[in-house]
């Protein structure tokens, strides 16, 4: 499914968060939005999803322009945001349309896809952080979204769990070929996952540059070519000569 943003700007109480942002995403493309805090990355995701419609500019999905929530989009947040009083299975089926048997069957299918088969009756308090985020991924995917929006979905996890879920995300993407927009502060994550990285800078955030990552998947973490891309991105963010940066 194609996605297009044209001159999107968003202002909060007189302060502009992002200005004149324009990109086009091809069906099945994984695009990363990368930049320092406060440059409007998450603001853009909320506009695409329809959770925030008080923006200027135009957002179209498959050529259709609307500011409403679109059922064809799925959203994965930084926190799992599970309902604590419901077990895993019911968290995944919550809000899903259809008869109970069909909903349960679909939920079990996606829980199996994210490695949680047999965990359907556990409650969120019984899950590790990585398991909870797997449930959140299953919940976002169970509606078969054609556009998947991810707002730093792995940032709260330890390094090993983060890498496992990055690989899981790619496995799911290979299966369903959703168009993906990923917000991240993690340059290595963006380079490992994305076909294209859009670097934003400033306040208000504006596009500084774009990088097309031509390395075939599966990519080698820490490989020479990705390291070269990383150095270029750090240069664009003026971070290559500092001692503290997000990598």
Residue 36 confidence (pLDDT): 84
78 belongs to a structural domain: no
pLDDT at 8: 97
Averaged over successive runs of 10 residues, the pLDDT of the chain (247 residues) comes to 94 95 95 92 95 95 89 91 97 92 94 93 96 94 91 92 92 91 95 97 94 93 92 86 44
Per-residue HEC secondary structure of 7-22 comes to EEEEEECCEEEEEEEE
- Do both 115 and 170 map to the same domain? no
What integer pLDDT is reported at residue 240 of this predicted model? Answer: 66
How many domains does the structure of the chain reveal?
2
| pLDDT value for 47 | 96
Q: Give residue 1's pLDDT.
A: 77
Does a structural domain hold residue 159?
no
Check residue 50 and give its pLDDT.
93
Task: Please tell me the predicted confidence (pLDDT) of residue 244.
Answer: 40
CATH classification at residue 11? 3.40.50.300
Assess whether 104 and 168 both reside in one domain: no
Q: Which residues, including other chains, have CB under 8 Å from residue 122's CB and lie 6 or more apart? A: 87, 88
Q: Give the domain extent around 30.
A: 1-72+164-213+225-242
pLDDT at res. 245: 38
């Amino acid at each position: 499914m194609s996605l297009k943003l044209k001159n999107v700007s968003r202002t909060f109480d007189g302060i502009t968060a992002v200005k004149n942002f324009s990109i086009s995403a091809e069906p099945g493309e994984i695009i990363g939005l990368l930049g320092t805090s406060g440059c409007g990355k998450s603001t853009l995701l909320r506009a695409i999803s329809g959770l925030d419609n008080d923006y200027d500019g135009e957002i179209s999905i498959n050529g259709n322009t609307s500011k409403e929530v679109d059922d064809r989009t799925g959203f994965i947040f930084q926190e799992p945001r599970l309902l604590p009083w419901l077990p895993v299975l019911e968290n995944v089926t919550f809000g899903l349309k259809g008869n109970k048997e069909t909903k349960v069957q679909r939920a079990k299918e996606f829980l199996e896809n994210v490695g949680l088969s047999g965990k359907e009756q556990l409650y969120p308090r019984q899950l590790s952080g990585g398991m909870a985020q797997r449930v959140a991924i299953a919940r976002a995917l169970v509606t078969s979204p054609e556009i998947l929006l991810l707002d730093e979905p792995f940032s709260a996890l330890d390094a090993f769990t983060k890498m496992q879920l990055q690989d899981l995300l790619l496995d799911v993407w290979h299966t369903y070929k959703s168009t993906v927009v990923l917000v991240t502060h993690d340059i290595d994550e963006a380079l490992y996952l994305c076909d294209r990285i859009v670097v934003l800078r400033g306040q208000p955030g504006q596009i500084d540059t774009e990088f097309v990552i031509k390395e075939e998947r599966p990519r080698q973490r820490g490989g020479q070519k990705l390291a070269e891309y990383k150095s270029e991105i750090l240069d664009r963010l003026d971070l290559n000569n500092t001692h503290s940066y997000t990598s």
